[in-house]
Amino acid sequence: MPLVNDPYYCHEQIPIPPAFPDILKQFTKAAIRTQPKDVLKWSHAYFRALANSEPPPVKDRLEVPISTQKIDTGLTPGLLRVLNNQLAALKTIPVTVIEEKWKDLSLPMERFQELCRIGNFVGTCEWRHFLAIAASDLCATLAETLKLICELLTSDPEGGPARISFETWLDFYRYLGKLDDISDAHINHVITYLTFDIASQEGMIMPRNFMHPECPKLNPRD
User: Is 214 a domain residue?
Assistant: yes
Identify the pLDDT of residue 64: 65
Question: Higher confidence at residue 1 or residue 49?
Answer: 49
pLDDT, one tens digit per residue, over 186-202 is 999 999 999 999 999 99
Say whether both 130 and 145 belong to one domain.
Answer: no
CA distance 91 to 129: 10
pLDDT, one tens digit per residue, over 152-166 is 999 999 889 999 999
User: Is 17 a domain residue?
Assistant: no
Say whether both 86 and 190 belong to one domain.
Answer: no
Identify the pLDDT of residue 69: 44
Mean pLDDT, rounded, for 202-215: 97
Say whether both 98 and 168 belong to one domain.
Answer: no
Say whether both 92 and 43 belong to one domain.
Answer: yes
Say whether both 112 and 165 belong to one domain.
Answer: no
Residues 69/75/78/80 CA torsion (nearest 10 deg): -110
217 Rama class: left (phi>0) / alpha (psi -120 to 50) / beta = beta
Domain of residue 102 covers 23-61+73-138
Say whether both 79 and 186 belong to one domain.
Answer: no
Say whether both 78 and 115 belong to one domain.
Answer: yes
User: Is 132 a domain residue?
Assistant: yes
User: Is 47 a domain residue?
Assistant: yes
Structure confidence at residue 68 as a pLDDT band (50, 70, 90): very low
Say whether both 96 and 110 belong to one domain.
Answer: yes
Pairing assessment for the beta strands 164-165 and 204-205 based on DSSP bridges: antiparallel
pLDDT, one tens digit per residue, over 5-35 is 666 666 666 777 888 888 899 999 999 999 9
User: Is 32 a domain residue?
Assistant: yes
Say whether both 178 and 198 belong to one domain.
Answer: yes
**SS3 call for 109:** helix
Inform me whether the pLDDT recorded for 53 exceeds 60.
yes
Say whether both 157 and 210 belong to one domain.
Answer: yes
> pTM value?
0.83
Identify the pLDDT of residue 8: 64
Identify the pLDDT of residue 11: 64
Say whether both 107 and 148 belong to one domain.
Answer: no
Q: Where among 96, 121, 138 does a domain terminate?
A: 138
User: Is 128 a domain residue?
Assistant: yes
Q: Where among 95, 119, 138 does a domain terminate?
A: 138
pLDDT, one tens digit per residue, over 122-151 is 999 999 999 999 999 999 999 999 999 999
Q: Where among 138, 165, 187 does a domain terminate?
A: 138
CA distance 78 to 114: 20
Identify the pLDDT of residue 5: 64
User: Is 178 a domain residue?
Assistant: yes
Computed over every residue of the chain, the mean pLDDT equals 90
> What long-range pairs does 173-181 form, CB within 8 A, spacing at least 24?
173/142, 173/146, 173/218, 175/128, 175/129, 175/132, 176/132, 176/136, 176/142, 176/145, 176/146, 177/142, 177/218, 177/219, 179/118, 179/133, 179/136, 180/142, 180/219, 180/221
Say whether both 132 and 146 belong to one domain.
Answer: no
Contacts of 27 (CB under 8 A, 6+ apart): 43, 46, 47
User: Is 4 a domain residue?
Assistant: no
Number of folded domains that form the chain: 2
